């Protein structure tokens, strides 16, 4: 499902149920240690989404490696690789690419359910709130408030690897195209420089299916870019609305 939102050159994998704890090669020892004190649900998410990431990396010819979480859940991808992971109830997914194809990737999945009001107030700018209210009146089968939240998560995940600092909800304004299945994020702070050009906007895509909202952003890379040392790349993103 996630592959429908990604361009050529980006490999992905997704599943709708968790890998069993005894799955062959599910986790490297250091990964197991990283979540050894987590509750079983978190361990299952962590295990399964990394299985998705390794499947996607395999499509690029990259061997299985440790994918350890760092600050804010960020992951150190192999040299020359950009990537993003996401999980929500009933869905786990990962997308990866060589950096010459994608300077950064942000993906997010959410249940097609209302966003808690306290989160909506903190995450929404006035024009966004008016827009999702109008969309909800016309097409209530889609939770546009949750789609907006997911789009902002994808923006953050694409931003963070390139900028190495936080991007607050109010620092990007999202405009959703309800017919094209796309969205645009206007950055309200200076954006990253990619291939010699500063990006003031991020363009993304979205879909709603199987009770899920999925969003994705891919920032094009530079064909001349060479492999570099491993860096922390955003993986799990911010907390889900229910965890805030």
Tell me the C-alpha distance between 97 and 84, whole Å.
10
User: Looking at residue 162, what is its pLDDT?
Assistant: 92
213 burial class (0-12, 13-18, 19+ CB within 10 angstroms)?
buried
Q: Is-contact 233 30, C-beta < 8 A?
A: no
User: Looking at residue 120, what is its pLDDT?
Assistant: 87
Report yes or no on 244 lying in a domain: no
CATH of the domain at 183: 3.90.470.20
Mean pLDDT of the chain: 89
Q: Is-contact 187 201, C-beta < 8 A?
A: yes
More confident residue, 183 or 195: 183
User: Looking at residue 109, what is its pLDDT?
Assistant: 98
pLDDT tens, residue by residue, 147-170: 999 999 999 999 999 998 899 999
Report yes or no on 160 lying in a domain: yes
Average pLDDT over residues 192-201: 92
pLDDT above 60: residue 229 = no
pLDDT above 80: residue 59 = yes
Domain tally, the chain: 1
Identify the CA nearest to 11 among candidates 62, 46, 47.
62
Tell me the C-alpha distance between 223 and 80, whole Å.
12
Report yes or no on 86 lying in a domain: yes
Q: Which two tokens stand for residue 34?
A: 């990283």
User: Looking at residue 236, what is its pLDDT?
Assistant: 47
pLDDT tens, residue by residue, 85-97: 999 999 999 999 9
User: Looking at residue 195, what is its pLDDT?
Assistant: 85
Report yes or no on 120 lying in a domain: yes
Owning domain of residue 102: 2-239
Report yes or no on 50 lying in a domain: yes
Identify the residue whose tokens are 């490999």: 11
């Amino acid at each position: 499902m996630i592959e429908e939102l990604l361009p050529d050159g980006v490999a992905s994998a997704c599943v709708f149920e968790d890998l069993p704890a005894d799955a062959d090669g599910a986790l490297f020892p250091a990964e197991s240690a990283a979540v050894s004190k987590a509750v079983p649900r978190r361990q299952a998410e962590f295990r399964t989404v990394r299985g998705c990431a390794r499947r996607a990396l395999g499509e690029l010819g990259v061997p299985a490696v440790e994918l350890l979480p760092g600050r804010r859940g960020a992951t150190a991808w192999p040299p020359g690789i950009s990537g993003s992971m996401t999980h929500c109830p009933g869905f786990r997914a990962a997308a990866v690419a060589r950096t010459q194809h994608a300077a950064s990737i942000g993906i997010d999945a959410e249940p097609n359910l209302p966003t808690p009001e306290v989160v909506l107030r903190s995450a929404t700018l006035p024009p966004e709130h008016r827009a999702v209210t109008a969309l909800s009146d016309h097409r209530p089968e889609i939770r546009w408030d949750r789609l907006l939240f997911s789009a902002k998560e994808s923006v953050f995940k694409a931003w963070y690897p390139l900028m190495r600092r936080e991007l607050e909800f109010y620092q990007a304004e999202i405009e959703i195209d309800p017919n094209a299945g796309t969205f645009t994020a206007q950055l309200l702070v200076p954006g990253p420089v990619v291939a010699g050009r500063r990006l003031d906007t991020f363009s993304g895509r979205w879909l709603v299916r199987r009770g899920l909202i999925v969003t994705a952003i891919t920032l094009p890379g530079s064909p001349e870019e060479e492999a570099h040392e491993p860096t922390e790349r955003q993986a799990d993103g911010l907390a889900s609305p229910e965890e805030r």
